Amino acid sequence: MTHATTDPTSDDDHVYLTLSEASPGPEGEARWAYGTGFADPLLGVDTALPDGVDGADLGAYCLMLGDDALILAQRLIEWCTRAPELEEEVALANLGLDLLGQARQLLTRAGQVDGSGRSEDEFAYWREEHDFRNVRLVETPNGDFAHCIARLLLFSTARHALYELLGGHPDQVLAAVAARGVKELAYHREYATAWTLRLGDGTEHSARRMQAALEALWPLLDELFTAHPVELRLGVDPAQLREPFLRALGEVIAEAGLTVPEAAPLAYVGGRAGRDGVHTEALGPLLAELQVVARAHPGANW
């Protein structure tokens, strides 16, 4: 994550004052996270479609990754005012903003290369449930804090490994998003690991709840490592990440005094799951909350 400097002698270094200042230019718009006045983190990256890469496939893949990040960002933001400590509330909100930044870049790229010209907002606010391509793990309801940590541990460990792989992808935009995101996800993984150890090696009650969270989420892991035809056509095979992921995760679970679950993978519906638009019943209410303002005031600016 990006941390602001806090030199009290300089207003420019004060994060809250900087965010509320008017940006330079004729509009004088106020700045906010991922709003106006910020440099494009992908400025200078070649946006041309690489030779031999199909635009429809690349767009579909960016949509998958972007939806994963967008939906989990929404789940993490739901912890605002609900986390067990103020410090964790702020931390989870910041993790959500990291993922939101990744989602914005990926959804924008999807619209650039798939021929639709759709914006990030169109993808986020104007699609129906069956049009989303996120894995089912990220849409699961928050449950208790242990559930939140277990989901974050599973997702960040897997996505960190995937982004390391994508750092060498021929598409320079996807590679740049992965190179930037891998640093953020390393922190997400460290944060989730620290809490897994704290809960697993804490009281009998905290260990029981952490183990229960792992047991509940474990059946959803298979989807992270099952290659979709779009991925294979782009030269990406997440199946190769399964064994390294399980080894790394097993070490954390063992150190926490917990047990690696043996639950079977969640069944696919007719051979289809989140990547094909088949979701759990939890996604609909999440999208209703995510999209309600944009749909109530279409085209509004503030």
- Reduced DSSP (H G I as helix, E B as strand, rest coil) percent helix, strand, coil of the chain, to 5: 60, 0, 35
How far apart, in whole angstroms, are the C-alpha atoms of residue 121 and residue 119? 5
CB 242 within 8 A of CB 225: yes
Residue at 27 is within a domain: no
Residue 206 lies in a domain: yes
Q: Is residue 18 part of a domain?
A: no
How far apart CA 90 and CA 251 sit, in angstroms, is 28
Q: Return d(Cα 278, Cα 202) in angstroms, integer.
A: 38
Q: Phi, psi (5° rounding) for residue 162?
A: -65, -40
Residues shown for the chain: 302
φ, ψ for residue 81 (rounded to 5)?
75, 0
Looking at the 3D structure of the chain, how many domains does it have? 1
In a domain, residue 12? The reply is no
Q: Residue 19 falls within a domain, yes or no?
A: no
Q: Whole domain around residue 132: which residue ranges?
A: 55-296
- Asked if residue 281 is part of any domain, the answer here is yes
Of the candidates 302, 157, 163, which has an alpha carbon nearest to the alpha carbon of residue 244? 157
Dihedral over alpha carbons 66, 163, 214, 68 (to 10 degrees): 0
Q: Could you identify the residue written with the tokens 């209703």? A: 288
Give every residue of the chain whose pLDDT is below 70, as ranges: 1-41
Evaluate whether 76 touches 99 at the Cβ level (below 8 Å): yes
Confidence (pLDDT) at 45: 86
Query: What φ, ψ does residue 85 adopt, rounded to 5°?
Result: -140, 150
Within-domain flag for 181:
yes
Q: In degrees to the nearest 10, what's the CA dihedral of 21, 289, 95, 67? A: -110
Q: What is the pLDDT of residue 43?
A: 75
pLDDT at 113: 97
Classify residue 167 by burial, with Cβ atoms within 10 Å: 0-12, 13-18, 19+.
middle
Enter the pTM of the model: 0.86
Residue 21 domain-assigned (yes or no): no
Q: Closest by alpha carbon to 190, among 129, 121, 272, 248? A: 248
Backbone angles phi, psi at 233, to 5 degrees: -70, -25
Q: Domain of 201: which CATH number?
A: 1.20.1260.10
Q: Quote the pLDDT of residue 42.
A: 72
pLDDT tens across 25-75, in order? 444 443 333 333 445 667 788 999 999 999 999 999 999 999 999 999 999
Tens digit of each residue's pLDDT (9 = 90 or more) over 207-240: 999 999 999 999 999 999 999 999 999 999 999 9
> How far are the Cα atoms of 61, 80, 105, 156 from residue 282, in angstroms, in the given order?
23, 19, 25, 21
